[in-house]
Chain A
Amino acid sequence: MHAPLFAALIRLADDHLILGHRLSEWCGHAPMLEEDLAMPNIALDLIGQARALYSYAGDIEAAGRDEDLLAFGRLERDYQNLLICELPNGDFAQTMLRQFYFASFMLLFWAEAEGSSNATVAAVAAKAVKEAKYHRRHCGEWVIRLGDGTEESTLRMQEACFVLEPYLGEFFAVDDVAIEMSKASILPNPQSLRGAWLADVCEVFVSAKLQAPDLTHAHKGGRQGRHTEAMGHLLAQLQYMQRSFPNMTW
């Protein structure tokens, strides 16, 4: 087994599954009907990307674990998603801002991964880059409209910036797995995307009349399986069905 590749795929898949699950919690609760379809659309894209990554990770591991077992059958400390993905949704402003941050990062990430030396990764990236492009556009437009909107929407968007800011630095943290992946030209080095990401965020923030985020203080631990208190509750809901009725299908 190629251990660093497996680890890198699991991280990426966990980011998408956990964030996709969070976003799906809005289904039936969105502030307007149109957005009640838009958010689950994005969630389904993310979960679709997670499926492709888990399946491939299962092939690489070659230990008989399929996408479902990897998605639903692990313990909390085995999940290696970014902490920002597991945070509770907060209000609509916070949800949209997080989604924008993530989509902006993933758009840069997938665009570079399209040229991966690994054919499967390149294929996943080619599909995901189109989806991320739309997510970034849709969520970015909301950030602008709420940031530069009414008095209340501006306050809420500023509050969202404040809440999410300490979780942004983790996007760009690098360790042995990330270095190995980038040396082998399989996945981009997250650190190298920082400048382009900040430029993209700032472009939207200028229109939204928001202050550029400060990345100096960053919570870390997600990549090592050390999660926030929100993660256990999320997994309880995410895993309930497979834990109660293992291998169930319908």
Chain B
Amino acid sequence: MNDTQEIPLWEVFIRPRNGLSHRHCGSLHAADSEMALQAARDVYTRRGEGLSVWVIPSAQIVASDPQDRDQMFDPSDDKIYRHPSFYDIPDDVGHM
């Protein structure tokens, strides 16, 4: 179809197993939500990848601006005390 750019873009999220969360796995074009859900099933779950699918209009996603990277993310660089690596864990707690 030559006018693919007029067909809305959707982001696809798949939950592979019970207990796991949905993860972003790609995007696709579809005219509406029902067709997007079916296309997601056909494109992204051909090898038993999922038990649940979400589709979200890409236009509805609010993203951070790459130009704001400094102010958004750099201030956390020197706050090493936020990492939970300064606690002594008793041996009998086992693996955390």
Contact = CB atoms under 8 A, between A and B. Distances in A.
A141 interface: yes
A38 B38 contact: yes
Nearest to B31: A145
A34 B46 contact: no
B7 interface: yes
A112 to B, nearest CB: 26
B29 A141 contact: no
B30 interface: yes
B42 A141 contact: no
A34 B43 contact: yes
A141 B7 contact: no
Contacts, number: 35
A138 B31 contact: no
B39 interface: yes
B85 interface: no
A38 B35 CA distance: 11
A37 interface: yes
Nearest to B45: A41
Contact of B38 (A31, A32, A33, A141): A141
Contact of B7 (A32, A37, A137): A32
A34 B31 contact: no
A37 B38 contact: no
Contacts of A138: 38, 42
Contacts of A32: 1, 4, 7, 29
A38 B4 contact: no
B90 to A, nearest CB: 51
Nearest to A41: B42
A37 B41 CA distance: 10
Given A32-B1, A137-B38, 18 more contacts: A32-B29, A33-B28, A33-B43, A34-B29, A34-B39, A34-B42, A34-B43, A35-B39, A37-B42, A37-B43, A37-B46, A38-B38, A38-B39, A38-B43, A134-B41, A138-B38, A141-B34, A141-B35
Interface of B: 1, 4, 7, 28-32, 34-35, 38-39, 41-43, 46
